[in-house]
Amino acid sequence: MSHCCELGAKLDEGQVLYQTDNCFVAPALGPIGVPYLLVMTKDCGSPLGGRNGIGSMVNGLMDEFVAVHELTRRVMESFYGTPVIGFEHGPHCGDLHGGGCLDHAHLHLVATDDIVDEIETYLLEHKSPGDTLGVYMPETPRVTYHCLRDILLEPETSSLYAESSDGQQHVYRVTFSIPSQFCRQLIAKQRGCPDDYDWALSEGRDKMQQTYDELVGRF
């Protein structure tokens, strides 16, 4: 079966933990040694599918995605009893990007410590005088997704979304590029394995399988 991209192909990898009509949940490639799931749309090539990140989803899909996002977080928190954070790197906008590799809408949910302080420190330190950095703290995921949509409509602007372990949403509007896999770099550094951030080089398939085995049937 053909798929829209590498993320859509995860539907056929035998590790889908939960799915709805348009969304699904599966372990992430390159889990950096921790329980790590992705909440994804099924087809970024469809009119509904979130071709340019979460902010590009239509309203109906956005509601469905929010429900899957919240359910997945609850399942992880209940089973692991540890903090769970979330993030999405922003999509490409010409030469500008918010740290993402693939623009297909996908939310990372990771059982690890907060990285929001590290994100904000980096952004403030690397912002040039002519750059713009906007910081927003919406109260719900749905408001967050609409905020990401508004940013997506702006020219030469990208975004970064981060969710702290207490559920607080943080949206960053940037007019300068963020390094590829930026949040993964922060997590890898936090865990003392800074070279393992790249999912293409450190696949961690044993940990992926362990996470699947632990959570299958719990949704």
In a domain, 96, yes or no: yes
Number of compact structural domains in the chain: 1
Q: What percent of the chain has pLDDT over 70?
A: 84
Write the CATH number for 170.
Answer: 3.30.428
CB atoms closer than 10 angstroms to residue 161: 28
Query: 161 near 143, Cβ under 8 Å?
Result: no
pLDDT per residue over 53-82, tens digit each? 777 777 778 889 999 999 999 999 999 999
**Among 115, 134, 130, 104, residue whose Cα is nearest residue 184:** 115
* Residue, of 163 and 178, whose pLDDT is higher: 163
In a domain, 22, yes or no: yes
In a domain, 3, yes or no: no
The domain of 30 spans 16-208
Give the tokens for residue 157. Answer: 């602007």
* Average pLDDT estimate for 31-39: 95
pLDDT at 159 over 70: yes
How big is the chain, counted in residues?
219
CB atoms closer than 10 angstroms to residue 133: 14
pLDDT per residue over 100-117, tens digit each? 555 677 899 999 999 999
In a domain, 214, yes or no: no
In a domain, 8, yes or no: no
Q: Distance between terminal CA atoms of the chain?
A: 26
pLDDT per residue over 17-33, tens digit each? 999 998 999 999 999 99
pLDDT at 170 over 90: yes
* Average pLDDT estimate for 145-167: 87
In a domain, 51, yes or no: yes
**Among 117, 158, 162, 105, residue whose Cα is nearest residue 137:** 162
Helical packing angle, 116-126 and 182-190, nearest 10°: 120
pLDDT per residue over 83-100, tens digit each? 999 999 876 544 544 445
| pLDDT for the residue 98 | 47
* Residue, of 194 and 106, whose pLDDT is higher: 194
| pLDDT for the residue 103 | 62
Look over the chain and give the mean of its residue pLDDT values, rounded to a whole number: 85
| pLDDT for the residue 58 | 76
| CA pair distance 43, 149, nearest whole angstrom | 18
In a domain, 219, yes or no: no
* Average pLDDT estimate for 3-10: 55
In a domain, 195, yes or no: yes
Confidence at 142, pLDDT banded by 50, 70, 90: confident
| CA pair distance 126, 71, nearest whole angstrom | 35
Helix, strand, or coil (residue 195): helix
